């Protein structure tokens, strides 16, 4: 009987093909987490009334999230086998399906993240001039034109501005869902032991928020804001390390399939890239650099920020590829 099962498992097409997800999905998960992180900070600091203390975080950074989400969604469509059927995801909502949650959350988030910066056009223009990106002011001119000359866009922008606090609460909630969803999407795959663990949701959320803070730290032109984001990022990196250690400890204490999954990072194929490149260069080094910066040493903010962003991307690539390799033993 056992022999029959062993051979049957090899029959092509009996199991869904395991290596179906590649770099587009990993990139999409990274971009989703990044957008969630940026929006989380924007809405949180808006609701705390720090709109003017944290101008880049609240007013300018969200304009990037719309672009980030659109790139992510394009990658998602690119990954589909039947690209033209993508609209069918939006004809249904299944509460038990993370993909359904993700698809709908992304639509809501992308609309809100587009509307959010539209009503901060003066601040965006000021930022562009301060950075010397004057060539990009066609964007702000276009928004002004929409607001003043077109009736429906004007109505939408003014309504959004009026009820901004209400939308901020919704967006805050949705950004947390989006951040968690990028992890839950993987952990819903019961057939892969590496993915099938509950820490993945919070771990991906923390990592996404950390990349969000790194993004703000990198592009902000306000010193105080940078410093605060740097401090927050250090705390997030510490949390990430905590989650990672617990994820691996939990797997080591689990049944054989989970031990084998953990072995991918403890001597297996992904050991070096996980510990040296992701943990070493994507978490520990930026943490040390940020600590030095807080102590008053001169560190270009782009350096720790880029390390965190690249580390976050590599983490998702590792998780997507390693997860598909981890299977339950025969």
Partner 1 sequence: MNTQKNKYINSYVAGFFLGLLIIAAYYFAGEGLGSSGGYRDVAFGVINKISPEYAHQNAFVAPHVSSDEGPTHTWLVYELIGVIFGAILSAVIFGRMKWSIGKAPHITNKKRLYLALIGGVLWGVGTQLGRGCTSGLVLSGMAVNSLSGYIGLIAIFGFGFIFAYVFKKLWIKTKN
Report in angstroms how near the CB of residue 322 gets to partner 1 at its nearest: 17
Among residues 188 and 277, whose Cβ is nearest to partner 1? 277
Report in angstroms how near the CB of residue 288 gets to partner 1 at its nearest: 7
Is position 309 an interface residue for partner 1 (rule: CB under 8 A)?
A: no
Closest CA to 110 of 59, 38, 57: 38
Among residues 77 and 272, whose Cβ is nearest to partner 1? 272
Contact 39, 114 (CB under 8 A): no
With tokens 């590829």, the residue in question is: 321
- Could you tell me the two tokens for 323? 């997860």
Report in angstroms how near the CB of residue 194 gets to partner 1 at its nearest: 22
Among residues 138 and 297, whose Cβ is nearest to partner 1? 297
Among residues 71 and 277, whose Cβ is nearest to partner 1? 277
3-state secondary structure of 299: coil
Report in angstroms how near the CB of residue 286 gets to partner 1 at its nearest: 10
Is position 223 an interface residue for partner 1 (rule: CB under 8 A)?
A: no
Distance CA 181, CA 188 (A): 10
Number of amino acids touching partner 1 (CB under 8 A)? 13
Distance CA 251, CA 259 (A): 6
Binding to partner 1 (CB under 8 A): which residues in 250-289?
A: 272, 276, 280-281, 285, 288-289
Report in angstroms how near the CB of residue 24 gets to partner 1 at its nearest: 20
Would you report the helix, strand and coil content of the chain in percent, each value rounded to 5? 80, 0, 20
Among residues 146 and 284, whose Cβ is nearest to partner 1? 284
Report in angstroms how near the CB of residue 192 gets to partner 1 at its nearest: 24
Q: Which stretch binds partner 1 (CB under 8 A): 24-32, 160-168, 206-214, 297-305?
A: 297-305
Among residues 249 and 272, whose Cβ is nearest to partner 1? 272
Among 17, 297, 329, 330, binds partner 1 (CB under 8 A): 297
Closest CA to 108 of 84, 90, 86: 90
CA-only gyration radius of the chain, Å? 22
Among residues 123 and 293, whose Cβ is nearest to partner 1? 293
Q: Which stretch binds partner 1 (CB under 8 A): 110-118, 217-225, 226-234, 293-301?
A: 293-301
DSSP letters, 97-148, are -HHHHHHHHHHHHHHHHHHHHHTTHHHHHHHHHHHT-GGGHHHHHHHHHHHH
Is position 300 an interface residue for partner 1 (rule: CB under 8 A)?
A: yes
What residues have CB less than 8 Å from 123, skipping those under 6 apart? 55, 59, 60
Among 18, 156, 188, 299, binds partner 1 (CB under 8 A): 299
Report in angstroms how near the CB of residue 289 gets to partner 1 at its nearest: 6
Report in angstroms how near the CB of residue 276 gets to partner 1 at its nearest: 6
Report in angstroms how near the CB of residue 229 gets to partner 1 at its nearest: 18
The sign of the CA dihedral 77, 78, 82, 83 is positive
To 10 degrees, the CA torsion angle through 11, 13, 16, 17? 90
Distance CA 217, CA 306 (A): 10
Closest CA to 189 of 89, 315, 326, 91: 326
- Could you tell me the two tokens for 309? 């962003």
Among residues 30 and 287, whose Cβ is nearest to partner 1? 287
Question: Where do contacts with partner 1 occur on this chain (CB under 8 A)?
Answer: 272, 276, 280-281, 285, 288-289, 292, 297-300, 303
């Amino acid at each position: 009987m056992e022999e029959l099962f062993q051979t049957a498992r090899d029959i092509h097409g009996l199991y869904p093909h395991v290596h179906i997800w590649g770099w587009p999905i990993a990139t999409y998960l990274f971009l989703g987490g990044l957008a969630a992180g940026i929006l989380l900070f924007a809405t949180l600091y808006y609701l705390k009334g720090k709109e003017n203390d944290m101008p880049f975080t609240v007013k300018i950074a969200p304009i990037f999230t719309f672009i980030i989400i659109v790139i992510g969604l394009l990658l998602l469509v690119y990954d589909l086998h039947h690209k033209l059927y993508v609209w069918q995801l939006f004809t249904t909502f299944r509460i038990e399906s993370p993909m359904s949650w993700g698809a709908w959350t992304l639509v809501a988030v992308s609309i809100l993240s587009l509307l959010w910066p539209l009503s901060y056009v003066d601040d965006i223009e000021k930022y562009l001039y301060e950075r010397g990106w004057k060539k990009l002011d066609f964007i702000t001119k276009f928004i002004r034109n929409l607001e003043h000359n077109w009736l429906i866009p004007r109505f939408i922008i003014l309504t959004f501005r009026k009820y901004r606090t209400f939308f901020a609460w919704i967006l805050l909630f949705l950004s947390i869902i989006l951040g968690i969803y990028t992890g839950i999407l993987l952990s819903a795959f019961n057939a892969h032991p590496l993915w099938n663990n509950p820490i993945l949701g919070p771990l991906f959320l923390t990592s996404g928020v950390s990349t969000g803070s790194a993004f703000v730290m990198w592009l902000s032109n306000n010193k105080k804001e940078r410093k605060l984001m740097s401090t927050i990022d250090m705390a997030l990196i510490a949390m990430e390390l905590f989650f990672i250690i617990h994820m691996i400890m939990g797997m080591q204490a689990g049944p054989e399939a989970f031990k084998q999954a953990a072995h991918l990072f403890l001597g297996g194929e992904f050991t070096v890239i996980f510990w040296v490149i992701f943990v070493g260069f994507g978490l520990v080094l930026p943490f040390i650099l940020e600590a030095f910066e807080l102590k008053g040493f001169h560190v270009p903010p782009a350096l720790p920020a880029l390390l965190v962003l690249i580390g976050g991307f590599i983490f998702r690539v590792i998780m997507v590829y390693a997860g598909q390799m981890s299977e339950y033993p025969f």
